Amino acid sequence: MSPLSLALTSLAARWNSALERELPAAEELRRELHREPRLSGSEHPTTARLVAALSDAVRVESVADAGGVGRIGPSDGPAIAIRAELDALPLAEATGAEFRSGNGAMHACGHDVHQAALVALVRAAEGLELPLGLVTLLQPREESYPSGALDMVEAGVLDRWAVAHVIGAHVHPGVRPGAVASGGGFINAAADEIDIRVHGRGGHAAYPHLASDTVAAIAQIALSLPEVTRRTVSPLRPALISIGTLSAGEGAANVLPGEGRVFATMRTTDPADRQPLFEAVRRMVEHVAAAFGVQADVLRIEGEPALINDVYLAADADDWLARLGVDGAEPMRSLGADDFSYFCAEVPSLMMFVGVETPDRDPQPSLHDPHFLPDDSAVGAVARALLAGYLAAAERVLGIEHHRSDFTEREEARA
Ligand SMILES: [Zn+2]
């Protein structure tokens, strides 16, 4: 092991035991946060509670409306950021838990667990000498638009706080409880929306030769979209277009409508496929429309970019997880989306998925299910994943910056 690795190992052991001591309070905090969830854009009370819980350790500044950011450890030089999302979902909770929400919103995506884990990790770092700054990103609006992560990036948070890497961890019932899935490369897809409006001349259904048939046109366009995808993107790189809305007509059987709409989501995993696929869709739609004698407007509504984990951070985090006694798991790749990807697009970053279990439920409820309620152990499991992420990121920054630092010398002397 290198002197740097040994020094970080000594820090990891002390941080991990301090973390154990913080967990009972953090589990209590998680229940409190769970009881009082706030929807996207209205997270201010949640932020205020977290700022209070962190107040001994860090001063949090407001950013991106309901968001917050603060820094512990060395106040200059590069920092590692850790992100926790603040928002809940518009769901009526069905868990029956003693600490269930009664306000029509629910932490059904585990963000209450992420928040409590971040608080535990930061409080546990008090009294330790961190080699690099730790920046807390309390991020609003993960579940809706406009994206809170994008707002934080655009507010200059990463530059201003000298963030070299961002670390995130998300609970997931699809990973074995207690295990952590990292994995380099694409984890989530870029999610754009394609809004296609078709215009023609309406008329009597018995005289279609005197009108234009927008219904036939949108039907043909719908069938052409998977074909465009197949012919544009290599089958070795996941991509898809799914139509969520197809509409025309006002309910009559004997009226040919003049307008039709196809509204679809486009998911790509390689940034190089994103623009070419959209352009191919536009060409196909315009030509199909022309063939039916109608006009089509094709609009792309840009969503989050693909979430691409840094391969080195992922490999190093796996090592640290093993050293902390945490099992690894296969990477959780999907064509879902998470706005953590805006951080990944700015600096090499890492998102992990932490296996959790809802007690007494078979089958296990998925994320966003009104029965989803990971047990208390999820807080510690997420906090340890974040710790492994910080250590991996610190190892990369320090390893690149200097081979031997004051930090390694002090930690060697301590060990
Ligand atoms: Zn989530």
Side-chain-facing half-sphere of 343: CA atoms under 13 Å:
28
> What gap in Å lies between CA 325 and CA 17, rounded to an integer?
13
CB atoms within 10 A of CB 38: 23
DSSP letter at 253?
Answer: S
Task: Count other Cβ atoms within 10 Å, centred on residue 51.
Answer: 18
E strands in 211-345: 239-248, 255-256, 259-268, 295-301, 307-309, 328-329
Residues 59 and 102 reside in one and the same domain: yes
pLDDT the model gives residue 73: 96
Identify the segments of the chain with pLDDT beneath 70: 401-404
Q: In angstroms, what is the span from residue 241 Cα to ligand 1's centroid?
A: 22
Gap from CA of 311 to ligand 1 centroid (Å): 22
Q: How far apart are the first and last CA of the chain?
A: 14
**How far is the C-alpha of 46 from the C-alpha of 44, rounded, in Å?**
5
Rounded to the nearest angstrom, the distance between the alpha carbon of 202 and the centre of ligand 1 is 44
C-alpha of residue 32 to centroid of ligand 1, in Å: 18
* Cα–ligand 1 centroid distance for 169 (angstroms): 10
CA of 245 to the centre of ligand 1 (A): 24
Q: How many residues does the chain have?
A: 415
Expressed in angstroms and rounded, the spacing between residue 223 Cα and the centre of ligand 1 is 32
Residues 337 and 285 both lie in one domain: no
Residue 203 pLDDT: 95
Query: Residue 236 maps to which CATH number?
Result: 3.30.70.360
| Same domain, residue pair 120 and 255 | no
Would you state the pLDDT for residue 3? 84
pLDDT value of position 2: 81
Answer with the one of 301, 320, 346 that is the final residue of a domain. 301
Residue 290: which residues within 8 A CB-CB, separation 6 or more?
A: none
φ/ψ of 137, rounded to 5, equals -105, 105
Look at residue 98 in the predicted model and tell me its pLDDT: 97
Q: Give the SS3 label for residue 97.
A: coil
Angle at 216 between CA 195 and CA 203, to 5 degrees: 100
In angstroms, what is the span from residue 109 Cα to ligand 1's centroid? 4
Question: 167 with 292, same domain?
Answer: no
Predicted confidence at residue 402, as pLDDT, reads 60
| Sign (positive or negative) of CA dihedral 360, 363, 369, 373 | positive
Q: Do 329 and 355 touch, CB atoms closer than 8 A?
A: yes
pLDDT at 413: 82
H or E stretch including 153?
helix 148-154
Cα separation, 45 vs 18, whole angstroms? 28
Say what the pLDDT of residue 404 is: 60
Total of domains in the chain: 2
SS3 56: coil
203 plus 84 within the same structural domain? no
- Cα separation of 357 and 373, whole Å? 8
Query: From the CA of 125, how far away is ligand 1's center (Å)?
Result: 25
Cα 128 to middle of ligand 1, angstroms? 30
Alpha carbon distance 247, 159 (integer Å): 45
Residues 97, 35 share a domain:
yes
Answer whether 14's CB lies under 8 Å from 137's CB: no
Beta bridge mates, 67: 63
Cα-to-centroid distance, 8 and ligand 1 (Å): 30
pLDDT at residue 86, as a whole number: 98
Residue 361 token pair: 């439920």
End residue of a domain, out of 301, 325, 351: 301
Domain extent at residue 15: 3-188+306-414
Instruction: Report how far ligand 1's centroid is from the alpha carbon of 135 (Å).
Output: 20
Structure tokens of 274?
A: 């994103």
Provide the pLDDT for residue 323: 95
CA dist 109 and 34 (Å) reads 11
Ligand 1: centre distance to CA 238 (Å):
22
| pLDDT, position 412 | 80
Q: What is the pLDDT, as a whole number, of residue 411?
A: 82
Domain boundary among 265, 285, 301: 301
Residue 138's φ and ψ, nearest 5 degrees, are -95, 105
